[in-house]
Structure formats: C-alpha cells, structure tokens
C-alpha cells in the first residue's frame, strides 16, 4: 500500500527550533525510551511508514507491521529485526491487511491480541493518492477508493486499536499539508485528508480523559512513491526524506506523557514546489 506524503514545502516544523531530537528523547521516563512498547504501523512497507517502523525498531519497540503485500512485509520484518535494540531482541509481527475492509482489520487485531495483548503506539500511515484530475473528470471509483483508504481505514484501525490501548498510549495519524489547504486536481485526496484531520482532532478531545495522546502529522513534500501518482515529474531533490519525518514523529512520541505535539507540520525549507 502506498504510504502518505504531503504536497507542498514551505514552513518549518512547528516544534520549537531550539529543541533537538536528543533533547526530546532525553525527556522520556528514566532514559528507557520506547523499549518494550508495542507499536502498530499501517502502510509499513515503504515511504514514511517504513521509515517510522525503522525508527521505532531502533528505539526498541516491539512492532506490528501491516500492508497489502505479504512478500514485502516478510522482507521488512527481517530487516527490522536486525535494526532492533541489541540489548533486548524485539518481537515483530507482520500481517497483511487492507484497511478499507472491516473483516481484514478484524483479522489483523485478532493476530495482535494473540501475540501482544496490548498496544501502546498506533501509527495510521496507510494511504493512497489520485491522479491529478478536476472534479468533472474524476471517476467515482477513484474518489471512493481514496476516501475508503485514507479516511475509512483510519477510522476502522483506530476503533479496533482503542480496545487495546491504555493511559500513556499514543496515536499518530500521518495526514498531509493537504489536511488544512487544498490543491486543484486533488479533490479526493484533499477531502480525505481534511476528514482525517477532523477525525484526529475529535479523537484527541475524546481521548484526553483516558490519557491517550493524538498527534496529527502534516508533512509537506517527502520523497516517497506517492509522487508517481500525484506528480511523476515532481522535483524530488527539493523534498524531505522519509527519515526526516520519521525522526520528528518519534521525537514527538518520546515527549513526557503529559505533553502532546497536537499538530506536527513539517516541510522542506526550500519553499513550494
């Protein structure tokens, strides 16, 4: 499954510029970081999702990685096992899932309950783009597929995950700068991301009493495969790397449990593509 990426660069990360990744990481409890926490990453076989999975593995997280391609998941799980903390070998479950399908999501969470019984971190990253087409030329099946993947999928996975999450947990929704602005020719993508931002903001308010943080990530242009659909000729050299976005995400998770980066908007410094 193609993972999320943003559209346009411009402003810098909303985290204060004087805060480094080392500073953020050092604020986590007792220097333990995320070791032993259980994290689920959807759309984990490429792009930002894969970069986040790698970063979480490096922090010592046990991981569930999911996507539509079982062969890719098997390859990624072997790689992640090698990247895990050497002091404590991490556990990895790779399980194919189509986030659009409630039955597929149910099967994924049955597997998670069997192996882990809990979930500390959810990264909703799975998403797809659309060809650049105006509304009057946009086929309804394309519209439907984008909304079902980017919005319905986030709802279904989050709803299933909440049963396994307790106080101190974190939900990271990878959105896009398209969540709070629009781009002509991308009606389905724009609508899905605006909806996903609304869902994220609602979840944050609902989950405050439970002590579960919700982080909305709005990346600008990141160098991922999604551009093959959005804009094949896009200038990749101006884009952020997926690893840059992943580092910002993990740094946000590492903050103390009583602190939330509610919206993390991170873009290249070179300006709009």
Task: Report yes or no on 3 lying in a domain.
Answer: no
Task: Report yes or no on 181 lying in a domain.
Answer: yes
Task: Report yes or no on 13 lying in a domain.
Answer: no
- The residue among 185 and 8 whose pLDDT is bigger is 185
Considering Cα of 39, then 48, then 229, then 140, what sign does the dihedral take?
positive
Active site residues: 189
Task: Report yes or no on 185 lying in a domain.
Answer: yes
How far are the Cα atoms of 81, 100, 165, 195, 253 from residue 200, in angstroms, in the given order?
31, 18, 16, 9, 16
Task: Tell me the pTM.
Answer: 0.85
Q: pLDDT band for 84, please (50, 70, 90 cuts).
A: low
Q: pLDDT band for 82, please (50, 70, 90 cuts).
A: confident
- The residue among 251 and 268 whose pLDDT is bigger is 251
**Edge to edge, what strands does the sheet with 121-124 contain?**
92-96, 62-67, 38-42, 121-124, 170-174, 213-219, 263-266
How far apart CA 140 and CA 30 sit, in angstroms, is: 52
Q: In the predicted model, what is the mean pLDDT of the chain? A: 86
What is the structure's pLDDT at 272?
A: 63
What digits encode the pLDDT tens for the residues 9-56? Answer: 333 334 443 333 333 333 444 446 899 999 999 999 999 999 999 999
Nearest to 92 by CA among 114, 64, 72: 64
Range of the domain at 185: 32-266
Q: How many domains, the chain? A: 1
Q: Which of 2-16, 158-172, 198-212 shows the lowest mean pLDDT across its residues?
A: 2-16
Q: Which two tokens stand for residue 128?
A: 């797809």
What is the structure's pLDDT at 14?
A: 40
What is the structure's pLDDT at 116?
A: 97
Pairing mode of beta strands 170-174, 121-124: parallel
What is the structure's pLDDT at 220?
A: 82
How far apart CA 56 and CA 120 sit, in angstroms, is: 12
Task: Report yes or no on 212 lying in a domain.
Answer: yes
What digits encode the pLDDT tens for the residues 4-22? Answer: 444 443 333 344 433 333 3
What is the structure's pLDDT at 270?
A: 81
228 pLDDT exceeds 80? no
How far apart CA 41 and CA 124 sit, in angstroms, is: 6
What is the structure's pLDDT at 8?
A: 40
Task: Report yes or no on 20 lying in a domain.
Answer: no
Task: Report yes or no on 56 lying in a domain.
Answer: yes
Mean pLDDT of 145-158: 98
- What's the CATH code of the domain at 179? 3.40.50.720
205 pLDDT exceeds 90? yes
Task: Report yes or no on 179 lying in a domain.
Answer: yes
Mean pLDDT of 69-81: 91
Burial 182-200 (b: 16+ CB within 10 A, else e): ebebbbbbbbbbbbbbebb
Q: pLDDT band for 237, please (50, 70, 90 cuts).
A: confident
Alpha helices in the chain (DSSP H): 21-26, 47-58, 70-83, 102-115, 140-147, 153-162, 187-207, 227-230, 242-254
What digits encode the pLDDT tens for the residues 93-112? Answer: 999 999 999 999 999 999 99
């Amino acid at each position: 499954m193609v993972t999320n990426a943003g559209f346009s660069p411009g402003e810098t990360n909303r985290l204060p510029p004087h805060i480094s990744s080392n500073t953020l990481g050092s604020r986590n409890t007792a220097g333990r970081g995320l070791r032993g926490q259980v994290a689920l990453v959807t759309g984990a076989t490429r792009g930002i999702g894969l970069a986040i999975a790698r970063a979480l593995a490096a922090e010592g997280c046990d991981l569930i990685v999911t996507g539509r391609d079982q062969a890719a998941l098997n390859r990624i799980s072997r790689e992640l096992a090698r990247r895990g903390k050497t002091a404590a070998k991490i556990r990895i479950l790779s399980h194919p899932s189509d986030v659009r399908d409630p039955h597929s999501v149910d099967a994924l969470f049955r597997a998670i309950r069997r192996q882990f019984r809990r979930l500390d971190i959810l990264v909703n990253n799975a998403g797809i783009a659309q060809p650049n087409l105006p509304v009057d030329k946009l086929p309804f099946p394309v519209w439907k597929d984008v909304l079902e993947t980017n919005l319905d999928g986030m709802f279904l996975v989050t709803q299933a995950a909440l049963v396994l999450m307790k106080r101190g947990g974190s939900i990271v929704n990878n959105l896009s700068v398209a969540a709070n602005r629009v781009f002509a020719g991308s009606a389905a993508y724009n609508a899905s991301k605006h909806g996903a931002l609304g869902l994220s903001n609602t979840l944050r308010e609902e989950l405050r009493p439970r002590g579960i943080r919700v982080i909305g990530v709005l990346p600008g242009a990141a160098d991922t495969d999604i551009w093959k659909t959005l804009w094949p000729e896009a200038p990749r050299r101006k884009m952020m790397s997926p690893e840059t976005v992943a580092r910002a995400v993990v740094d946000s998770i590492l903050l103390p449990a009583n602190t939330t980066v509610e919206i993390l908007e991170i873009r290249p410094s070179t300006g709009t593509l």
